[in-house]
Structure 1
Amino acid sequence: MIARSEITGLLLAGGRALRMGGIDKGLIPFQGKPLIEHAINRLGPQVANLVINANRNQTVYSQYGYPIVADENQDYAGPLAGYLAGLKVCNTPYLMTAPCDSPLFPTDLVEVLAHTLKKQGSHIAYASSQDPSGKIWAQPVFCLMKREVVDSLEQFLADGQRKIDRWFASQNACTTVFQNESAFANANTPDELAQLEKFTN
């Protein structure tokens, strides 16, 4: 089994949030406190230490007491750029990523993905959810990966690639399906944030 002490958590707060009007999503209030605080409270107990990937408002994020890492290039290349920034400062064998805008993700997320990663012998394990109709939806920003994938990811991005699923395929990534679909609900728009407010932890 992979021990908690072997895993660094990376919270992804580096996007432009265009559908949210360009507001920094991690700092948007949700149930009385910024979304990033919910993410910290969810992921923190599951990992050895935390890092926040942020490309703006870094001074504000630094007040939470965790290291802040920015994407290497300021072109907002998406989650993979955040993964790379996190991997480069990761000092544990594994990195676990989670976005700042999904405040209800499972409190056993890391444990479940760690079990899957070990069982499948893969380099990457990510979450998936199942909707009421039975359809499976990949949730690739919830991802546990071995630190050693850093060189592969760096080359992938250097080649101009941006698609998470394409990089995952190159790494023979595996997944676990979580039955609680709402656990991965995120706030891409004000309406989605309002919907999230209706859920309880």
Structure 2
Amino acid sequence: MGLNPVLPAYTALILAGGQASRMGGVDKGLQTLHGEALTQHVLRSLAQQTRPPAGYLLSANRHLDHYARWGHPVLPDAEAGYPGPLAGIQAGLAACPHPWLLVVPCDAVQLPDDFAQRLLDAAHDRQASSAADPAHWHPTLLALHRNCAASLDAYLARGGRSIRGWLADLDHQPVHFDQPFANANTLADLARLAAP
């Protein structure tokens, strides 16, 4: 698929605001891999996209000063108690200055170079697209049009917390990638990625 020259600029949102319960409750975005925080790996991977972001937002609820050192706006959840990734996405949509928001969790440290382009192409004329690989659908790897904000606000107000549940109400297109996405969801995953 070739580049879509009419696609507008987009902002990337890195989700690092969760409890990381499968990692023992540490601040996952600040855990290191090869001497750099996971969030730094994601920032670099996004900068190397065939269509890089026009701006970045960081969703975080702890160590806000540390995240701010990377020079991008840091967005804590509006609701206390770690309500889940949709709260980070809600904050990202509210702060997004561009028509499109590309959402990436902080543990997705190795993105294909055409990741953003393919999701944005698939979302063109829709509300959303998300990534799937041979084994999994990854609903936190997604492109969203800014006009999704009202739908998300309403979903959260009804008590919804599932990204999958919210996406079911949108004009949403899965995008299939041939290779699995490497992520550091647990400390064991992180150790495997760090192994030579």
Partner of 1:39 in structure 2? Answer: 42
2:115 corresponds to 1:109: yes
TM-score scaled by structure 1? 0.90
**Which residue number in structure 1 is paired with residue 64 of structure 2?**
58
Determine the C-alpha separation between the residues in 1 that align with 2:178 and 2:186: 24
User: What are the ranges of 5 or more consecutive residues in structure 1 without an aligned counterpart?
Assistant: 132-136
1:179 maps to which residue? 178
* 1:85-122 deviation per Cα after TM superposition (whole angstroms, max 9, x unaligned): 0000011000000011121121211101111112xx31
Task: Report the CA distance between 1:2 and its aligned residue.
Answer: 6.3
5+ residue gaps in structure 2? Answer: none
Query: Match for residue 134 of structure 1?
Result: none
Q: Quote the Cα distance in structure 2 between the aligned partners of 1:4 and 1:37.
A: 26
Verify the 8 A CA contact 1:5 1:48 in the aligned structure 2.
no
The 3 A distance-change label for structure 1 pair 4 and 47 is farther
Aligned to 2:194: 197
Q: Percent identity?
A: 35
**Two-structure CA RMSD over aligned residues (Å):** 1.5
Give, in angstroms, the shift of residue 186 of structure 1. Answer: 1.8
Which of 20, 24, 28 matches 2:23? 20
Richer in helix (by share): 1
Q: How does 1:30-179 map to 2 (within 5 A)?
A: 30-45=33-48, 46-118=52-124, 121-131=125-135, 137-179=136-178
Q: Distance in 2 between matches of 1:2 and 1:170?
A: 29
Distance in 1 between the 2:75 and 2:17 partners? 9
8 Å CA contact 1:9–1:47 kept in 2: the answer is yes
